[in-house]
Structure 1
């Protein structure tokens, strides 16, 4: 079986670095990807794809990328579920990144020595 996704798009917001309880870096981003055709009104539509980055890919993306940065991602499509506060099962489909490439120029405010706030999250 093959489960491989390749996307090139722009970040919809600044990436945020979080840590799992065991200290693993993770970042959940939204990638805006334009379609390669126009709809019936002649407009180009955009898909917003949730992506999860782990470890060094998450750390580097949070350090060097900002809202609007163009990145390329290869990874796998994954579906997971959880029960929300009302007890209803919610399904989430996302791309789990295996590699991330920075395709745009480096923003002026992205400095490697910048300290990012690390927010702990639950087990992943």
Structure 2
């Protein structure tokens, strides 16, 4: 049997960190994952998926991720059900993360309370201030 999920998306909200009565950390967050195609209006749709991380991974997610962070999630699907207050059965589907990769640097994604402009941080060109070098053709090794 195989139950493996690999996703890349952006957090739709900050991770929520809690602890079980026995002291085990659990973080819950959701990510938006774009679909590969556009709808009839030419817009790209997204799926919003619930992620659950445990123990040290949960604490790392809570400490280093925030709304807008780009992440790669490797894990498995887990379904569950419970009865709500009206007595109806509610079915749930979560991705239980076994590995979460932080795919952008702190402050580079769209984050709540992040950049003053609220948008993406521009990455400076590392060669913008460089002075052109005058090289003669006979100095080239090829």
Which range, TM-score by smaller chain?
0.7 to 0.9
Q: Which runs of 5+ in 1 are unaligned?
A: 111-124
Report the Cα offset of residue 107 of structure 1: 2.9
Quick check: 1:31 aligned with 2:31?
A: yes
TM-score with structure 1 setting the length: 0.84
Report the aligned-residue RMSD: 1.6
Counterpart Cα distance in 1 of 2:77 and 2:43: 27
Counterpart Cα distance in 2 of 1:85 and 1:24: 27
RCO higher in 1 or 2 (8 Å CA, sep ≥ 6)?
A: 1
Q: Would the aligned equivalents of 1:66 and 1:107 in 2 still touch at CA under 8 Å? A: no
Q: Which runs of 5+ in 2 are unaligned?
A: 115-142
1:91-110 to 2 correspondences below 5 Å? 91-107=91-107
Displacement over 4 Å in runs of 4+: none
Spell out, residue by residue over 1:9-37, the C-alpha distance to the aligned partner (whole angstroms, 9 max, x if none): 00011112100111110011110111111
Q: Would the aligned equivalents of 1:65 and 1:107 in 2 still touch at CA under 8 Å? A: no
Structure 2 SS opposite 1:17: strand
Structure 1 SS opposite 2:16: coil
Quick check: 1:17 aligned with 2:20?
A: no
Structure 2 SS opposite 1:92: strand
Aligned to 1:64: 64
Give the structure with the higher percent strand.
1
Report the Cα offset of residue 45 of structure 1: 0.3
TM-score with structure 2 setting the length: 0.73
